[in-house]
Amino acid sequence: MTSKTGPTAYEDLITYVRERAIERLVERVPGATRESERAWFDLMITEWIRAQQSANVTDASEASEGLEFEYRTSEGEPLHRLTVAFEGAVEDHVEDAANVPEYDPPPLKTQRSGDMVQLWMRAAYEPWPDLPLERAAKVLSRSIGYSVPQPPLTHESVCLSWAHFDEREARALAFELYVAGVDIEALLEQIEAFPYGEASLAWLTEPEKCIHMHAALVDQMDAKERKEHPESLAHLRHNIEFIYRLSSLIPPHVRIWLRGWSAAYTHTAFARAVGLAPEE
């Protein structure tokens, strides 16, 4: 038996979860059809992906918190009204430039050879890094997170919360990164220098898209907004710098399987939210 990895497997998993969710919704929602539920589910996933950030990141919460989306069929008939909320979202406050944290990341180390054979041989023959990996498990478990929908997932509302890996999961993640040739110690240096404490798993898997989204939010701020929100502006700029540094340490081939890693957690949460997976 063969298994697929990378974007194809990721898309297959999305399709599978969507179709099983549609079957359950058609059974339980009076008057629902497969077409209407498929349209709702696709749009809901789109909006959720756009909000794939920590609930305490101001740009994400300000962009989607409390918004309502009214979906319509191709004929223009009302379909569903969806409210997006973030569990534990930070309330608005008056910002002060004096509160902007200092961000002085260590310099990036010279990049190692990208030759796959050399990377695997190095991992095979170097001494087993027990202590660095144990430290990595602790740092990754408290620093890397991902947003998940809380059950019940309904037509009217989606509540997103922030989840972290436990140390067992983070240890496995650190091991896989090490075997793939990622400089774990350099990665930890960058994470520990980040003043906001938390980073989204999406920043590791799709850095270009995340940098573009942050840069677009900075561009949308006019002079008045930049003056009134110095903390938010600095946060966005720090995020851009941090994501770039992560992308420099994690090669593209590693990001491919990280997307599968991310899918294993986020889509399980989607399945659980619509009653297709048992609660832990």
Establish if 221 belongs to a structural domain. Answer: yes
The predicted-structure confidence for 107-123, as pLDDT tens digits, reads as follows 887 655 556 666 666 65
Give me the pLDDT at residue 95, please: 84
Note whether 29 and 155 are within 8 A (CB): yes
Establish if 241 belongs to a structural domain. Answer: yes
Give me the pLDDT at residue 34, please: 85
Read off the pTM: 0.64
SS3 assignment, position 213:
helix
Residues of the chain with pLDDT under 70: 1-12, 46-92, 110-129, 154-157, 277-280
Q: Is 54 left (phi over 0), alpha (psi -120 to 50) or beta?
A: beta
Q: Tell me the residue range of the domain where 76 lies.
A: 7-90+114-273
Establish if 175 belongs to a structural domain. Answer: yes
What is the spatial distance between Cα 225 and Cα 218, in angstroms, rounded to a whole number? 10
Establish if 260 belongs to a structural domain. Answer: yes
The predicted-structure confidence for 221-247, as pLDDT tens digits, reads as follows 888 889 999 999 999 999 999 999 999
Give me the pLDDT at residue 56, please: 38
Establish if 143 belongs to a structural domain. Answer: yes
Establish if 96 belongs to a structural domain. Answer: no
Establish if 95 belongs to a structural domain. Answer: no
Give me the pLDDT at residue 127, please: 54
Note whether 82 and 157 are within 8 A (CB): yes
Amino acid (1-letter code) at residue 232: S
What is the spatial distance between Cα 239 and Cα 243, in angstroms, rounded to a whole number? 6
Establish if 2 belongs to a structural domain. Answer: no
Name the domain count of the chain: 1
What is the spatial distance between Cα 81 and Cα 179, in angstroms, rounded to a whole number? 46
